[in-house]
């Protein structure tokens, strides 16, 4: 494992390649797994290229996985064409607790690395955390309740205004 600690005012992505080079030099073998943030997943990054014989694991940002592509991934689940695998963890009592659902897909990629076209197949894990889904649903229900209360307050005020103005409206009607 290699770790670089830098002051917070510096970007960390220029430090990936030197750290990877140190690890390769010290271990002296291929087939390593590099775990990083979303900037680590840039297709064609010469330090993470599959041409080195290594693997990488990272979340994909919108640059690597645009919303339209993600929507396609999710549509295949919603339409029932893509079955999900339940992901569980072992609790302290020895029982299995479901924590997520997901599937994997293979994505063919190409990039130019050091003047050569490199092609590889990336394995992408599409995972939905149950806890994150519950938190999102709870937040949505809170926002809906607030919106409902605001609409009700507006409607109530409009009726109250109309009712308080009713005698004047009747007077005008009679004059007409």
What pLDDT is attached to residue 105?
94
Residue 5 has pLDDT above 70, yes or no: no
Q: Sign (positive/negative) of CA torsion 148, 149, 150, 151?
A: positive
What's the pLDDT tens digit per position in 16-35?
A: 777 777 888 888 888 888 88
> What angle do the packed helices 130-164 and 166-175 form, to 10 degrees?
40
pLDDT digits (tens, 9 = 90+) for 110-160: 877 778 888 888 889 999 999 999 999 999 999 999 999 988 888 776 666
What lies within 8 Å, CB to CB, of 146 at 6+ separation is none
pLDDT of residue 122: 85
Q: Is 32 in a helix, a strand, or coil?
A: coil
Tokens of 93: 């009592």
What residues have CB less than 8 Å from 57, skipping those under 6 apart?
A: 33, 34, 35, 36
125 pairs with which residues across the strands? Answer: 104
């Amino acid at each position: 494992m290699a770790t670089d600690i830098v002051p917070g005012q510096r970007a960390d992505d220029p430090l990936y390649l030197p750290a990877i080079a140190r690890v390769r030099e010290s271990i002296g073998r291929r087939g390593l797994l590099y775990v990083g943030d979303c900037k680590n997943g840039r297709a064609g990054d010469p330090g993470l290229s599959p041409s080195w014989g290594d693997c990488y694991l990272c979340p994909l940002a919108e640059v690597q996985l645009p919303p339209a592509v993600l929507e396609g991934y999710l549509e295949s689940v919603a339409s029932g064409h893509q079955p999900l695998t339940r992901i569980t963890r072992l609790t302290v009592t020895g029982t299995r607790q479901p924590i997520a659902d997901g599937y994997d897909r293979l994505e063919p990629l190409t990039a130019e690395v050091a003047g050569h076209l490199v092609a590889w197949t990336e394995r992408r894990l599409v995972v939905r955390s149950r806890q994150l889904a519950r938190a999102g649903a709870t937040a949505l229900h809170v926002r809906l309740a607030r919106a409902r209360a605001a609409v009700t307050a507006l409607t109530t005020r409009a009726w109250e205004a109309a009712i308080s103005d009713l005698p004047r409206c009747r007077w005008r009607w009679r004059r007409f």
